[in-house]
Amino acid sequence: MATVPCALCGHPVNPESLGVYQRTRGWVQKRSGGGGHSVALPEREPEWAHSGCVDRASRGWLTQTELFGGKP
């Protein structure tokens, strides 16, 4: 399969390579304490990203949340 542009950095990513992330839409149950992130009824979207890009993005988001004093 041909490579597609990474949804986060725009560089080519192979959707079949190990560790690649695919964007998924689904349902997450609200729980007390905010624990648990299992997705029910996931629908796969035609978007992929490098694992490194997703890791950086999630760390960046966490840092930003902390900087603004946000508490989930």
Of residues 4 and 9, the one with the C-beta less far from Zn ion: 9
Q: How far apart are CA 49 and CA 11, in angstroms?
A: 9
**Residue 54 touches Zn ion, criterion: CB under 5 A:** no
Count of other CB atoms within 10 angstroms of residue 44: 10
Select from 4, 9, 20, 57 the one that contacts Zn ion (CB under 5 A): 9
* H helices present in the chain, as ranges: 51-67
**Residue 6 touches Zn ion, criterion: CB under 5 A:** yes
Select from 21, 48, 50, 54 the one that contacts Zn ion (CB under 5 A): 50
